[in-house]
């Protein structure tokens, strides 16, 4: 497919534009941002894809904002043997018109035209490839998706014909893959059937293991039951012996009962004496403690009184310090206020000076901008006054050449007579004339006659001469009419006028550059408003005073001096603020000290009051205790209780000696031991009997389960499951082996299939990266890596510039390969922005090579990037 002409009317911001790309080669459509370059491609897509009555949002947005006008797209397209002009109109009076020029003239309209175009493009053009080969603005930088493009596949197949096995190979590969996928997932995992068989084997093995464990458990229960019955019999025999020994020990302890009773009476008397002695001792210790507490209370009350006096003195000193620090803070704040006023004065002076300097600068910028705009206006008037542009001059020159050719043909067709006779007078159609010396040639055009010696000779033009003269007259009229429309006299005047227009246009460009430089990136409207405000303020009293101050400042000091003055004021203000902060910190610390001293004074006063109260309570308690029992009586009672306790202890020792002589303790100890042994034996006997009962119940419950028969069946089922799993594994392994072998063979054939694209890409990459570049192309027809200087870098890790260059080269390589069949244009929209000058030169050479066999459309706002493309046609797009 080739786009021969494309015209847009009322398409977003484009009012009317027509471009005529070169059928083969590189066409650069250059224009500033937002001039509508990308709209050209979008309009062509909409022409091919959308009906004229489409109501999609993307179609509605193509109508210019705020205008009720139709949007029109018209294109002349060459697709295979078909050349046609296709036009659609949307929004108002929708219509579709098609004029077929080749191979046979035809006119269609409406849906019939739309369907005809889709049918022809579907048969002649790889439309998905047309979209894949675009390098578009505003989309992520990526390589073209070429893997499923039919035209590229056909071109590669033609290049490597015979490398692959054709339909029979595809059928075998498909069947092998189908068999592989019966057993394996696409990622190589085993299918559910294998997991089911493995689960069956695992379940059967678990069943066998569980039954074997149950059978072993029954056997262990029988062994434990036999041991439990034997242990119970042994415990019964030992229990009879222990019962006899307990009865003998009880009879001996009963015989010694009288001696034991005397010891118990002595122990009771000793316990009563211990209690009386303890009571008397507690009374004496309490009296001593009460006397000590009274002494401690008197000492504590004295200490609390001294501490309260000290705290009151500390509080008075802290309050004096607080008043002094508060005065320091007041003085620091006054000093800070004075420094702040000085700083504000310095800042105002600096700002006034800066405002004066900035307004003066803006006035100069505005003056330069006004002068530049006047120069632009004058240049625009000069351009408008020169009616002949290069296109009109070309028409005039073509008309002049046509006139010269026609005149030459007319002259060649006109007969010539030779007149001789010096000094002879002739009557001619132009009047009398006298012949000169020598022969004279006369062309016999229509209406020419001369008379000599009474004989008149008249010329009658032939048919060829008449046609030649008519052609010459028409050419002359055409040239005269064209010159009249252009307001010039002849072709030379037209050339002069065109030269004047070119000079005026060049001057206009220079004037516009000067206007842009005069603006210097300034917002001129904002600058005018700021200067106007400054002019308005100069008339007010406050502004006049400020202007006087600014003038005084400017006269007394430079801007640098004002800045230093303001910085010094900033430093002084900072120091004053810091002094205020420090005084505030000291004041806060003084307040905290006063609060702490006040709290301590209150605490110590309260503590002194509490200590006096405790002293009074302890003294009152001591007086009451002495009234009930004097101090000397408490001491006498304690001594008497200790004496009686000693007598009771001596009596107990005599009784215990008698018990020791009689062996009472040994007899009682033996009785306790015999009774404990008998109880332990009875407990063990009950445990053995309980175990016998439980094991008997377990055996009775498991006796009818048929565990041996179940175990045999489970082992047979496990063997069947294992055989099924082994058979599945053999089939799955065979299917995978065949699949992998066919895939390896197919990958080898595919490498040869990809080679033509890689070779073409390498041919285009050499001018860009150098002769040692190597490019690897993957099975998906995308660039995998680039090797340069022996270093291989994956595509994703290359710089943005290198990735963009390879992405474009890949599209160009594909376009070159398919250029002989269903070729499509390559569209490059504002690309190569990351390329350095050397790489740009190389890309220009690559574009030149690709343009020799395919159509390349470049949309750019920087046409200098493509200045070295050989044979490129450049069209400037203006808003």
* Cα 621-627-631 angle, rounded to 5 deg: 90
The torsion defined by the Cα of 564, 570, 574 and 577, in degrees rounded to 10, comes to 140
Nearest to residue 133, comparing CAs of 818, 693, 753? 818
Q: In this predicted structure, which of 76-90, 101-115, 257-271, 796-810 has the lowest mean pLDDT?
A: 257-271
For the chain, the distance separating the N- and C-terminal CA atoms, rounded to the nearest angstrom, is 29
| pLDDT at residue number 453 | 66
Nearest partner of 510 among 375, 370, 364, 371, judged by Cα: 375
Angle at 181 (CA atoms; ends 176, 184), nearest 5 degrees: 120
Residue 306: partners with Cβ closer than 8 Å, 6 or more residues away: none
Highest mean pLDDT (candidates 21-25, 140-144, 381-385, 660-664): 21-25
What are the C-alpha distances in Å from 480 to residues 401, 467, 473?
Answer: 13, 20, 10
Measured between alpha carbons, how far is 14 from 69 in angstroms, rounded to an integer? 12
What mean pLDDT, rounded, does the chain reach? 79
- Compute the distance between CA of residue 805 and CA of residue 769 in angstroms, rounded to an integer: 10
In the predicted structure, residue 695 carries a pLDDT above the cut 80: no
Structure confidence by residue, pLDDT tens digits, 260-315: 666 667 777 778 877 877 777 777 777 777 778 778 878 777 877 787 788 788 88
| Mean local confidence (pLDDT), 700-715 | 70
For the chain, the maximum distance between any two Cα atoms, rounded to a whole number of angstroms, is 210
C-beta separation of 412 from 467 below 8 A: no
Confidence at residue 6, expressed as pLDDT on a 0 to 100 scale: 94
The pLDDT assigned to 659 comes to 60
Reference 86, options 49, 141, 136, 36; nearest CA is 49
Instruction: Count CB-CB contacts under 10 A for residue 618.
Output: 19
- Average pLDDT rounded to a whole number, residues 724-739: 84
Strands 2-11 and 14-19: antiparallel
Select the more confidently predicted residue: 163 or 275.
275
Average pLDDT, integer, range 482-508: 84
State the average pLDDT over residues 764-777. 90
pTM for this predicted structure: 0.39
Please tell me the least confidently modeled range out of 421-430, 608-617, 735-744, 785-794.
Answer: 421-430
> Does residue 551 surpass a pLDDT of 70?
no
> Domains of the chain: which residue ranges?
2-164+752-876, 195-256+667-702, 385-517
In the sheet with 783-788, reading across from the earlier edge strand, the strands are 774-777, 783-788, 791-794
487 φ/ψ angles, rounded to the nearest 5 degrees: 75, 30
Structural contact between residues 335 and 575, judged by C-beta atoms closer than 8 angstroms? no
pLDDT for residue 382 is more than 50: yes
DSSP 795: G
pLDDT of 660: 65
Q: Quick check: 555 pLDDT over 80? A: no
Asked if pLDDT for residue 122 goes beyond 50, the answer is yes
Distance CA(522)–CA(422), nearest Å, equals 83
Report the number of secondary-structure helices (H) and strands (E) in the chain: 19, 19
Q: How confident is the model at residue 429 (pLDDT cuts 50, 70, 90)?
A: low
What is the SS3 assignment for 460? Answer: coil
**Residue 664: per-residue pLDDT:** 62
Q: Which two three-digit tokens encode residue 141? A: 């930088």
Task: Give the pLDDT of residue 556.
Answer: 44
Both tokens of residue 741?
């072998």
Using DSSP bridges, classify how beta strands 855-860 and 25-30 pair: parallel, antiparallel or unpaired. parallel
Output the pLDDT for position 70: 94
CATH number of 2-164+752-876: 3.40.50.300
Q: Residue 607 has which token pair?
A: 């503590």
Residue 274 DSSP one-character state: H
pLDDT for position 37: 87
Instruction: Indicate the DSSP class of residue 430.
Output: T
CA proximity to 450, closest of 422, 431, 465, 469: 431
For residue 60, pLDDT over 50 is answered with yes
- Tell me if 92 sits within 8 A of 72, measured CB to CB: no
The CA-atom distances, in angstroms, between 196 and each of 190, 201, 714, 724, 771 are 11, 9, 18, 11, 59
Higher pLDDT, 822 or 132: 132
Residue 444 has pLDDT above 70, yes or no: no
CB 103 within 8 A of CB 27: no
Percentage of the chain lying above the pLDDT 70 cut: 82
The confidence band for 259, taking pLDDT boundaries of 50, 70 and 90, is low
Give the DSSP H or E segment for 868: none
pLDDT category of residue 552 using cuts at 50, 70 and 90: very low
Residue 717: HSE in the Cβ half-sphere, 13 Å Cα cutoff: 18
Query: Which residue has tokens 């055409």?
Result: 478
Residue 662 has pLDDT above 80, yes or no: no
Report the C-alpha gap between 789 and 442 in whole angstroms: 80
Residue 7 near residue 17, CB atoms below 8 Å: yes
Q: Is the dihedral of CA 647, 648, 649, 654 positive or negative?
A: positive
């Amino acid at each position: 497919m080739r786009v021969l002409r494309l015209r847009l009317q009322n398409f977003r911001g484009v009012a009317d534009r027509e471009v005529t790309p070169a059928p083969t080669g590189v066409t650069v459509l250059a224009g500033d941002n937002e001039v509508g370059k990308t709209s050209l491609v979008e309009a062509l897509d909409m022409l091919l894809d959308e009906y004229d009555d489409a109501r999609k949002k993307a179609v509605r947005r193509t109508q210019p904002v705020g205008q009720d006008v139709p949007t029109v797209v018209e294109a002349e397209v060459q697709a295979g043997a078909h050349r046609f002009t296709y036009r659609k109109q949307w929004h108002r009076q929708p219509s579709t018109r098609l004029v077929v020029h080749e191979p046979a003239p035809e006119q269609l309209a409406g849906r019939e035209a739309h369907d005809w175009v889709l049918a022809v493009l579907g048969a002649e053009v790889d439309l998905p490839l047309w979209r894949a080969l675009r390098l578009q603005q505003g989309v992520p930088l990526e390589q073209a998706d070429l893997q499923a493009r039919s035209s590229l596949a056909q071109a590669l197949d033609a290049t490597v014909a015979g490398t692959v096995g054709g339909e029979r190979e595809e059928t075998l590969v498909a069947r092998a893959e189908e068999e592989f996928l019966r057993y394996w997932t696409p990622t190589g995992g085993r299918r559910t059937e294998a997991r089911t068989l493995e689960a069956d084997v695992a379940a059967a093995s678990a069943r066998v293991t569980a039954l074997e464990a149950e059978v072993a458990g029954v056997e262990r229960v029988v062994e434990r039951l036999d041991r439990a019955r034997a242990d119970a019999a042994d415990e019964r025999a030992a229990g009879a012996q222990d019962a006899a020994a307990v009865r003998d020990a009880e009879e001996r302890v009963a015989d010694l009962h009288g001696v034991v009773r005397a010891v118990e009476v002595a122990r009771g008397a000793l316990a009563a004496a211990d209690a009386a002695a303890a009571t008397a001792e507690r009374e004496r210790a309490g009296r001593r403690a009460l006397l000590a507490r009274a002494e401690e209370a008197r000492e504590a009350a004295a200490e609390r009184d001294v501490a309260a006096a000290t705290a009151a003195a500390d509080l008075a000193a802290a309050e004096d310090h607080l008043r002094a620090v508060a005065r320091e803070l007041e003085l620091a704040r006054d000093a800070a206020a004075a420094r702040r006023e000085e700083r504000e004065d310095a800042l105002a002076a600096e700002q006034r000076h800066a405002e004066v300097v900035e307004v003066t600068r803006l006035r100069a910028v505005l003056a330069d901008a006004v002068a530049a705009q006047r120069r632009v206006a004058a240049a625009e008037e000069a351009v408008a006054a020169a009616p002949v542009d290069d296109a009109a001059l070309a028409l005039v020159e073509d008309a002049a050449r046509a006139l010269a050719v026609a005149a030459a043909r007319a002259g060649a067709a006109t007969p010539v007579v030779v007149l001789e006779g010096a000094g002879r007078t002739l009557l001619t159609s132009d009047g009398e004339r006298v012949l000169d010396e020598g022969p004279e040639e006369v062309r016999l055009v229509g209406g020419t006659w001369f008379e000599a010696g009474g004989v008149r000779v008249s010329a009658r033009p032939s048919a060829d001469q008449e046609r030649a003269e008519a052609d010459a007259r028409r050419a002359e009229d055409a040239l005269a009419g064209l010159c009249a429309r252009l307001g010039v006299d002849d072709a030379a005047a037209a050339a002069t006028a065109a030269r004047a227009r070119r000079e005026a246009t060049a001057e206009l460009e220079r004037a516009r550059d000067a206007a842009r430089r005069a603006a210097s990136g300034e917002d001129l409207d904002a600058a005018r408003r700021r200067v106007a405000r400054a002019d308005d303020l100069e008339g007010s009293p406050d502004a006049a005073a400020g202007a006087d101050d600014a003038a005084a400042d400017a006269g007394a000091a430079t801007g640098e001096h004002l800045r230093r003055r303001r910085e010094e004021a900033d430093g002084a203000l900072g120091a004053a603020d810091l002094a205020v902060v420090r005084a505030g910190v000291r004041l806060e610390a003084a307040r905290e000290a006063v609060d702490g001293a006040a709290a301590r004074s209150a605490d110590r006063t309260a503590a002194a009051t509490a200590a006096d109260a405790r002293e009074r309570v302890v003294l009152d308690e001591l007086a009451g205790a002495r009234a009930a029992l004097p101090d000397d009586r408490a001491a006498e009672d304690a001594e008497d209780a200790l004496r009686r306790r000693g007598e009771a202890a001596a009596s107990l020792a005599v009784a215990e000696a008698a018990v020791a002589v009689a062996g009472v303790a040994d007899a009682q100890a033996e009785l306790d031991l015999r009774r404990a042994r008998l109880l332990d034996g009875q407990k063990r006997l009950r445990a053995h009997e309980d175990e016998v009962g439980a094991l008997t119940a377990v055996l009775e419950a498991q006796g009818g389960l048929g565990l041996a028969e179940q175990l045999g069946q489970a082992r047979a089922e496990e063997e069947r499951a294992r055989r099924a799993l082994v058979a599945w594994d053999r089939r799955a392994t065979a299917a995978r082996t065949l699949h992998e072998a066919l895939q390896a063979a197919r990958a080898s054939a595919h490498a040869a299939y990809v080679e033509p694209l890689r070779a073409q890409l390498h041919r285009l990459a050499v001018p860009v990266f150098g002769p040692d570049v190597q490019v690897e192309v993957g099975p998906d027809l995308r660039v995998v890596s680039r090797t340069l200087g022996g270093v291989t870098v994956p595509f994703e890790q290359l710089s943005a510039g290198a990735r963009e260059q390879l992405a474009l080269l890949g599209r160009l390589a594909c376009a070159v390969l398919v250029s002989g069949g269903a070729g499509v244009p390559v569209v490059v929209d504002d690309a190569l922005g990351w390329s350095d000058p050397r790489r740009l030169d190389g890309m220009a050479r690559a574009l030149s090579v690709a343009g020799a066999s395919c159509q390349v459309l470049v949309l750019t706002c920087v046409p200098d990037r493509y200045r070295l493309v050989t044979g490129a046609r450049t069209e400037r797009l203006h808003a």
